Amino acid sequence: MARSRSEQAAWRREQLLDAALRVFADKGVDGATVKDVAQAAGVTPGLLYRYFDSKEAMVETLLSERGFLPRLRELGELRHDDRPATEVLTGLLEAFDRLLADNAELMAVFFSAAQARAPLAGLVGQGQRLIGDFLAERVAAGELRPHDTATAARTLFAAVAVNRRLGTPIDVSALVGLLFPEEG
């Protein structure tokens, strides 16, 4: 059952990224040492440099390859639906909440790495736009009452994100019911 050369290499690369993600999330990028990552992966520090150019390159790789912007975009494509707006919205927010939960460690890296600020803002912007567009659509369709859809999107998104980050996840149905009581 020997892995082929390139399979082995790919596997090792992922294993190192896994370890890095865990360690960076735990100690912060600056607080973690290359040795910490190597130990977490069960290898020696030198090996990391066969797979990555530098510690910083590891962070960048994590941010680009493990970023969940792609999965966030996928969510956006599922929104055209004939189900009631509040139902779709609840589904969207729940999926988003799950996405954050699944990527808690990556979020921690986003928050700790100085260079990670920009991607984070991009992520949030993307999420807000997604939800904002959906709300505007359904307002236009007369299904939702007219309201400040941009502010609503930012609010919904923030409520889910902050509480997930703080380890106190919010009840999404209650949240949607709060903003759109009539439609519940």
Applying the rule CB under 7 A, the residues between 54 and 93 that interact with DNA are: 54-56
Q: Which residues, 6 or more positions from 76, have their beta carbon under 8 angstroms from its beta carbon?
A: 130, 133
* Residue 146 burial (10 A CB sphere; 0-12, 13-18, 19+): exposed
Residue 142, interface with a second copy (CB under 8 A)? no
Residue 119, interface with a second copy (CB under 8 A)? no
Name the residue nearer to DNA (CB basis): 32 or 108.
Answer: 32
Of the candidate residues 28, 76, 91, 119, the single one contacting a second copy (CB under 8 A): 28
Tokens of 51: 């797979």
Of the candidate residues 46, 70, 142, 167, the single one contacting DNA (CB under 7 A): 46
Q: Which phi-psi region, left, alpha or beta, contains residue 42 (left: φ > 0; alpha: ψ -120 to 50)?
A: left
Can you spell out the DSSP letters for 172-184? HHHHHHHH-TTT-
Partner whose footprint covers residue 159, from DNA, a second copy, none (CB < 5 to 8 Å by kind):
a second copy
Applying the rule CB under 7 A, the residues between 101 and 120 that interact with DNA are: none
Q: Give the separation between CA 12 and CA 171, rounded to whole angstroms.
A: 39
Residue 49, interface with DNA (CB under 7 A)? yes
Q: Give the separation between CA 75 and CA 72, rounded to whole angstroms.
A: 5
Q: Give the separation between CA 5 and CA 109, rounded to whole angstroms.
A: 31
Residue 111, interface with a second copy (CB under 8 A)? yes
Applying the rule CB under 8 A, the residues between 37 and 96 that interact with a second copy are: none
Using CB under 8 A, count the residues that bind a second copy: 34
Partner whose footprint covers residue 34, from a second copy, DNA, none (CB < 5 to 8 Å by kind):
DNA
Which of 36, 12, 15, 13 minimizes the C-alpha distance to 24? 36
Radius of gyration of the chain (CA): 20
Q: Which residues bind a second copy (CB under 8 A)?
A: 27-28, 30-31, 111-112, 114, 120-121, 124, 145, 147-148, 151-152, 154-155, 157-159, 161-163, 166-168, 170-171, 174-175, 177-179, 181
Q: Which residues bind DNA (CB under 7 A)?
A: 2, 5, 8-9, 12, 32-35, 43-47, 49-50, 53-56
